[in-house]
Structure 1
Amino acid sequence: MTKPGPRPAAPAHHRNTVLVWAVAALVLAAVVVLGAVRTVAPTDRAFLTKDFLTSDFLTASQQAPSPSAGAPAPPPAAVDLAAGIQRIIGEHPDHRIGVAVMDTRDGQLQSYGDVAPYTAASTAKVLTAAAYYHLVETGDKSLDTPLGAFNAAFQLKAMINASNNDAWLLLMQDIGYPNLTAYAATLGITYDPEKNLIAPPDMARLLTQLATGKLLNADHTAELLGYMQHTNDENLIPAALAPGITVHHKYGVVLGYVHDAALLSAGDRSYAVVIYTWGPNDADSAARLDLIHDLTHQVTGALFGQ
């Protein structure tokens, strides 16, 4: 039997045809894979959209930024401010006590106790100062106007920082009582200079408008607030504040009435806090100071956690 010899090699054109089909198969496979990738990608990106990240599928803790991302500090622990103030009021049945707290950021007002109008004593001097500065800004008055032995600028500082009553009378007379009442009305405040009656919430509104620059221009706002620091009597609200709380205030004391009206701020929180009291004991008694301090501690504990 004759042994078969080696098989002849495939023709060159047949080898080329095989290579062409192999390449075509690879290209087709790549197209299929690429098409699959392009089809899946948009669905994957949908998981990163804002709508998805804020959906109900995520818990509140997952949505909140982490502390390392510069998130604001958490608010102070909740304190029942209403219950605390009512407790203090209940401990002083022979006193009138009214407390008003207004958040200067959103104007939210909280009122406690008797918030009907009180004899405002010297706290109303802030309203007189604002009215006079307003007339200066409208060109109707000048800080250089002679009033008494000095000018209006001197009397404004004396009225607020040293609570000088002569300066107060000179400024009110220069404004005119009807004009002062009318100015208060434009601020949403009811005030009669003859009776000197103001409700705690109205005083809180006045302080809030001052703090937020809605009353006066920047220079006059800064000047008036400056006079409300380091006054000649820091024994009421300022004496009961924890370190780190900034205070601008105007106190008032007359015939059994002891008041303090303050702007308190710490960090990014700022509030107008007004405490009005009347009682049968002496206005400057230790018992009345303790009452003001107890109310201040209750309020700042709720607002600032201290």
Structure 2
Amino acid sequence: SNYGIQNNFAGASTTKVLTASAYLHDIENNKYKLTSDGKNQLRLMLNKSDNTAWDILNKKVGYKNMVTYARSIGLNSYDWKNNIITAGDEALLLQKLYQRELLSEYHTNLILGHMQDTNNESMIPKIIPEGATIWHKYGQLEDRLHDAAIINYQDRPIVIVVYTKGGASDGSNYTPRVKLVQDLAKTIINSIYQIN
């Protein structure tokens, strides 16, 4: 289900998952080989949110090819020029990734592995129930703060994507925005998994 505003947002770093998927899709289609340097760029981009690695992989895939790939998997809102996407399309990307609809098991696990113990665990990872597993990618850009997560608890995987925008663009509203993302995600988790 989608709640709130369904408009396009600047995806910030959450769309690094799309870059990773497009890059590995090209590898699976023999456009190029996955080198140790390519693996390292994936790790830096997803796990450390490194923008230099992101730029390298975006250029490798090609921006027009990125849009073509996004459309081919149903992400109709994605626009590479301003890194625009809806929360619903980001959720669809994570759902298809987790369900192994996009990539081989090996390449899926490569992405998911880099989406754990990341450089920012302050939002959705902080509020998941004990025993749950999470894979996520946060995004922060000026007055935008996002978290996009796959959570598996009680053998019931769900995807939660929270995109926020507003307030000071200098990052001074970071702490209250983190709490907002946590509160929204916790409400969803408690409702779906019937946690009191």
Query: Using a 3 Å threshold, how does the CA distance of structure 1 residues 264 and 172 change in structure 2: closer, same or farther?
Result: same
Q: 1:155 aligns with which of 41, 59, 64?
A: 41
Query: Using a 3 Å threshold, how does the CA distance of structure 1 residues 287 and 302 change in structure 2: closer, same or farther?
Result: same
Contact 1:255–1:283 (CA under 8 A) maintained in structure 2: no
Unaligned runs of 5+ in 2: none
Q: CA deviation at 1:305?
A: 2.1
Match for 1:297: what amino acid? K
Q: Which residue does the alignment assign to 1:195?
A: 82
Q: Equivalences for 1:66-215 in 2 at 5 Å?
A: 110-144=1-35, 151-190=37-76, 191-215=78-102
Q: Which residue does the alignment assign to 1:233?
A: 120
Contact 1:160–1:250 (CA under 8 A) maintained in structure 2: yes
Q: Equivalences for 1:259-278 in 2 at 5 Å?
A: 259-278=146-165
Q: CA deviation at 1:290?
A: 1.1
Per-residue CA distance 1:153-203 (angstroms, 9 max, x = gap): 110110000000000000001111000000000011032211100001101
Q: Equivalences for 1:238-253 in 2 at 5 Å?
A: 238-253=125-140
Q: CA deviation at 1:283?
A: 5.9
Match for 1:157: what amino acid? R
SS at structure 1 position matched to 2:3: strand
Look at both structures and tell me which one has the larger radius of gyration over its CA atoms.
Answer: 1
Q: CA deviation at 1:285?
A: 2.5
Match for 2:191: what amino acid? A
In the alignment, the residues of structure 2 paired with residue 175 and residue 151 of structure 1 have an alpha-carbon distance, to the nearest angstrom, of: 15
Q: 1:294 aligns with which of 170, 177, 183?
A: 183
Per-residue CA distance 1:209-249 (angstroms, 9 max, x = gap): 00000000000111110000000110011012221221100
In the alignment, the residues of structure 2 paired with residue 210 and residue 234 of structure 1 have an alpha-carbon distance, to the nearest angstrom, of: 21
SS at structure 1 position matched to 2:129: coil
In the alignment, the residues of structure 1 paired with residue 42 and residue 14 of structure 2 have an alpha-carbon distance, to the nearest angstrom, of: 14
In the alignment, the residues of structure 2 paired with residue 235 and residue 159 of structure 1 have an alpha-carbon distance, to the nearest angstrom, of: 18
SS at structure 2 position matched to 1:111: coil
Scaled by the length of structure 2, what TM-score is found? 0.94
Q: CA deviation at 1:139?
A: 0.5
For the aligned residue pairs, the C-alpha RMSD in angstroms reads 1.2
Scaled by the length of structure 1, what TM-score is found? 0.61
Q: CA deviation at 1:284?
A: 5.7
Q: Which residue does the alignment assign to 2:141?
A: 254
Unaligned runs of 5+ in 1: 1-109, 145-149
